[in-house]
């Protein structure tokens, strides 16, 4: 798939900036205060700010978003150093802790000029110069909600702080090459002007460099993307798809398909050689899959459940016949904090309990679908043992011995076995060890 003979529509450069760096900081402070006051998703707050400030170009909006997300990554530690939890304090602390700016540089940005934040106070200057995390508790130094710290300690042990620091960094920009269209080498050549290079572990992926502020090129308008040549997908998600072990000729149900990322990956891996059925309990989450299938050339049967009184089980005809069920379960997303830092601050004990209940429900449904000798592959993007090994143990107990755990085959990914953490029931990827989002994969089989 060569594109040199036709017009290029790729947009690499964002709109020229209108706002000064200081004005962008003022905007970030305003948005962080809004997020803190209303406990709303960062994306919603950023969207509302953009609608209210239409003069800001796309470059400005992207830079402001980068400041906001960096602030959320270091919200607890920045507030600790600065002695306050306001958007201003978090922004000032983040500039030092996350972006490595010294007090004189930060003072130059907080100069009180037109649209700039008010000048630093003497206390703020002192804290910037002398503030330390040496005496901060782990949840502050690691920027994590205190109530999940025991679970994180159980998952990471002595590597806790290293892993929390890794989860506080920006995620890389990875894409999965669609083998139905071209090879990874061909895609890398087509994207050579972006500096795309092979991902460290996934044989399906390319990594696209980002700028110092974490922004990358507008891949969603790239000609190769529009033609289905690749999908934007973290390397960890690509590895989870590989570890599912799907083979041509199998009947496979993607039980929590959502937008279809893993279903598309499985179609690519098998050359459209497996019968793939994708569904989701929430039909709204399936909406993007149809355009993605059209673009990619992947052959996937989508079964969309009805809502209301007419709701019926769209998989009833497959009970006991499926070779492999992929359960990419709803979870807290604790493994994705690098790219969704606001999610950790909106996490509550009740939401964890809800996810655990949903996981049990989808695993029980998977157990009915799989045939004797067939496999259930359970995947989460969580690093919490309650959502991972404990969820698997729950199904094994409820099945009365008909479902048993088996080792997940890592041979499809050379070098992965030396990187992952092995748990009692599965394998755990993490930002610190594998450099990916925190995906967990466990495999089970029906014995009778």
Instruction: Tell me the binding residues for S-adenosyl-L-methionine.
Output: 280, 328
Torsion angle of the four alpha carbons 255, 325, 260, 270, in this order, in degrees rounded to the nearest 10:
-160
| Beta-sheet pairing, 421-422 with 173-177 | unpaired
CB under 8 Å to 223, separation ≥6 — which residues? 3, 6, 8, 9, 10
Q: 20 and 108 in contact (C-beta within 8 Å)? A: no
Q: 143 and 136 in contact (C-beta within 8 Å)? A: no
For residue 387, give the 3-state DSSP assignment: helix
**CA atoms of 81 and 95, how far apart (whole Å):** 12
CB under 8 Å to 217, separation ≥6 — which residues? 10, 11, 12, 194, 208
**CA atoms of 18 and 20, how far apart (whole Å):** 7
DSSP string computed for 62-109: HHHHHHHHHHHHTHHHHHHHHT--SHHHHHHHHHHHTT---HHHHHHH
Q: 446 and 372 in contact (C-beta within 8 Å)? A: yes
For the record, the structure tokens of 47 come out as: 């969207």
CA-based R_g, the chain, Å: 23
Of the candidates 381, 413, 416, 433, the residue annotated as catalytic is 381
Q: 11 and 218 in contact (C-beta within 8 Å)? A: yes
**CA atoms of 35 and 56, how far apart (whole Å):** 20
- Indicate if 256 belongs to the active site: no
Q: Give, for 378, the enclosing helix (H) or strand (E).
A: strand 370-380
**CA atoms of 154 and 140, how far apart (whole Å):** 18
Q: Give the catalytic positions in this structure.
A: 381
């Amino acid at each position: 798939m060569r594109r040199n003979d036709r017009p290029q529509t790729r947009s690499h450069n964002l709109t020229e900036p209108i706002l000064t760096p200081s004005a962008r900081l003022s905007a970030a402070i305003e948005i962080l205060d809004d997020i803190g006051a209303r406990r709303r998703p960062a994306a919603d707050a950023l969207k509302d700010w953009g609608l209210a400030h239409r003069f800001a170009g796309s470059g400005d909006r992207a830079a402001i978003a980068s400041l906001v997300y960096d602030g959320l990554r270091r919200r607890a530690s920045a507030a600790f150093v600065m002695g306050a939890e306001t958007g201003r304090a978090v922004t000032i602390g983040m500039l030092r802790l996350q972006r490595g700016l010294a007090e004189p540089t930060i003072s130059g940005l907080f100069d009180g000029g037109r649209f700039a934040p008010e000048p630093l106070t003497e206390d703020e200057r002192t804290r910037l110069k002398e503030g330390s995390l040496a005496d901060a508790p782990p949840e502050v130094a690691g920027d994590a909600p205190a109530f999940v710290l025991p679970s994180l300690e159980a998952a990471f042990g002595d590597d806790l702080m290293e892993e929390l620091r890794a989860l506080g960094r920006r995620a890389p920009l990875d894409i999965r090459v669609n083998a139905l269209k071209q090879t990874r080498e061909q895609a890398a050549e087509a994207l050579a002007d972006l500096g795309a290079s092979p991902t460290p572990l996934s044989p399906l992926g390319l990594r696209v460099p980002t700028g110092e502020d974490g922004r990358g090129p507008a891949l969603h308008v790239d000609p190769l993307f529009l033609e289905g040549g690749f999908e934007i997908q973290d390397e960890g998600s690509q590895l989870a798809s590989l570890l599912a072990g799907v083979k041509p000729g199998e009947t496979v149900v993607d039980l929590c398909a959502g937008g279809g990322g893993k279903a598309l990956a499985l179609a690519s891996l098998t050359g459209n050689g497996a019968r793939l059925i994708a569904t989701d309990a929430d039909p709204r989450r399936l909406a993007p899959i149809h355009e993605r299938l059209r673009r990619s050339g992947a052959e996937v049967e989508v079964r969309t459940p009805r809502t209301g009184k007419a709701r019926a089980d769209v998989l009833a005809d497959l009970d006991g016949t499926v070779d492999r069920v992929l359960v990419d379960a709803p979870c807290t997303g604790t493994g994705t904090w690098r790219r969704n830092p606001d999610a950790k601050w909106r996490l509550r004990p009740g939401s964890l309990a809800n996810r655990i209940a949903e996981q049990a429900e989808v695993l029980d449904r998977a157990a009915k679908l799989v045939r004797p000798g067939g496999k259930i592959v359970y995947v989460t993007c969580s690093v919490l043992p309650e959502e991972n090994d404990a969820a698997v143990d729950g199904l094994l107990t409820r099945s009365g011995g008909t479902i048993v755990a088996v080792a997940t085959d890592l041979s499809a990914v050379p070098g992965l076995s030396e990187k992952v953490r092995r748990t009692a029931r599965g394998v755990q990827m993490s930002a610190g060890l594998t450099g990916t989002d925190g995906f967990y994969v466990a495999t089970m089989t029906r014995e009778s």
